[in-house]
Structure 1
């Protein structure tokens, strides 16, 4: 982990971007850049005043190429199309990048993998330390239970979330399926209705709840005859996601060029 990584934030005007600015400040790292989309009304404002932490003396800009030289690493929670451009800019400048954007197409994922041959790239669907510890616990549970239990995943989010199941729920399902030697695309069951017949033990079930202001709750149940193990993660605010991304940014500076995830950042791959 770099002692004082110079961190740049793209998508700085969005909800997550603002939290990232706060998280960088709270971690005591220098904020080296705050980039917003072209035409934004925030251009020219002070990044600190943007998030209510006082003046930082850093002006918000709309062009990463103008400030990339000041950065050791970029954190990007934007859109797949914008991320594709940021990958090119970071590669040209030999600057690491931490990506929290979701919804990539296969060609966009391939571009990320190709870029990671030249610069270090961290990509994760969820940067919460708790979620990533949960993933490790799920792998251990799946390995221990094998095919002796039924696996069900229940997730809940706020009413405004537009995709279902959540990316985190799918990440959890993939972790379990991989450890069980199954292909999630073939065994996933998304909700049940009507006369479904007996449950196939090879399937992994998903149930989705949407309502109110729930930040994010995920529970994976390993259900056997006579006992049940539940592994749950509940988020009460979104700052833990931002703090995890900042932790990843500090960790990746100076690492060899390849693609990493939060399991690597937290040292969980070796456990």
Structure 2
């Protein structure tokens, strides 16, 4: 049975990728697209509703899974509307702070909600295997990360970088907020052993690169993930939409739940 989906921000770079991939997927029905007021022109898909108001659109497509890669405040507002109508929602938005994540978790008690700052299968497999590497290497290895994205990206560090760095900290038994170092400048002194540096590069049209460094005595290990296209993330989100359509409310789902 096919899954009905609604794409938010359908004219954006990610939204347009999602629309095209949903239209090409025989297991999906694109039943609705939504854009901000005054920006709905040119969205003409056969059998698909177009709207600038999600609140008005959802009653016309009951049970459709919303897919959202917009912005933190917009995604939280969407989740509130989704909970009101009982519509499942897949969120790939990055940059959500702790309060916004907790708010999503509250709405997830009312309707199935899935959130992942990175939808790629590769990154989520890394999140499973990195703790083993950290524990095997031991505390003599300093951990650092560099993340690179296109110049239009608004949040820094990226949501993926934060998730990976938090994974490294947890593997050491550290609280990430106590050990993070997102910027270094001037006379900073020696690097503390209990620290994880995450540095940001922005430029061009880079989809997303993340390199984790493990600096040890006499050697260095580098683990890199490179996303070659937005289709990587869109594919993961649409896979999540198919899976989420059969789930019940009660928790904020993530990629680990699919695996």
Q: What is the TM-score with the length of structure 2 in the denominator?
A: 0.90
Asked if 1:26 corresponds to 2:21, the answer is no
Aligned partner of 2:254 in structure 1 is 261
1:94–1:164 CA distance, 2 compared to 1 (3 A): closer
RMSD: 2.0
* CA distance in structure 1 between the partners assigned to 2:235 and 2:129 by the alignment: 21
CA distance in 1, matches of 2:57, 2:33: 9
Q: 1:32 Cα shift?
A: 1.4
Per-residue CA deviations over 1:227-267 (Å, capped at 9, x if unaligned) read: 322211011211111111111111111212121111222x1
Alignment correspondent of 2:221: 229
2:232 alignment counterpart: 240
1:153-175 Cα deviation digits (max 9, x unpaired): 01112233343322211111011
The alpha carbon displacement at 1:41 in A equals 4.3
Cα distance in 1, alignment partners of residues 2 and 51 from structure 2: 22
Other-structure match for 1:60: 50
Matches within 5 A, 1:127-142: 127-142=119-134
2:164 maps to 172
Alignment map for 1:1-271 (pairs within 5 Å):
3-28=1-26, 29-42=28-41, 45-47=43-45, 56-69=46-59, 70=61, 71-257=63-249, 258-265=251-258, 267=259
Q: Shift in Å at residue 105 of structure 1?
A: 4.4
Residues 9 and 70 in structure 2, CA contact (< 8 A), matched pair in contact too: yes
User: Greater shift after overlay, 66-75 or 175-184?
Assistant: 66-75
The separation in 1 between residues aligned to 2:76 and 2:184, in whole angstroms, is 37
Equivalents in 2 of 1:86, 1:197: separation in Å? 45
Counterparts of 1:65 and 1:162, CA distance in 2? 27
Q: Which 10-residue stretch deviates more, 67-76 or 10-19? A: 67-76
Is 1:177–1:183's contact at 8 Å kept on the other side of the alignment?
yes
Q: Is the contact between residue 134 and residue 231 of structure 1 (CA under 8 Å) also seen in structure 2?
A: no
Structure 1 gaps, min length 5: 48-55
Q: Name the CA shift for 1:226/1:27 in 2 (closer, same or farther; >3 Å).
A: farther
Residues 146 and 256 of structure 1, relative CA distance in 2, 3 Å threshold: farther
Query: Please, which moves more after superposition, 21-30 or 115-124?
Result: 21-30
Counterpart CA distance in 1 for 2:156 and 2:101 is 21
Contact 1:190 1:206 (8 Å CA) reproduced: yes
Relative distance call for 1:104 and 1:170 in structure 2 (3 A) is closer
* Number of equivalenced pairs: 255
- Contact 2:31 2:47 (8 Å CA) reproduced: no
Is contact 1:36–1:42 with CA below 8 Å preserved after alignment? Answer: no
TM-score norm. by structure 1 comes to 0.86
In structure 2, relative to structure 1, the CA distance for the partners of 1:134 and 1:74 (3 Å cut) is same
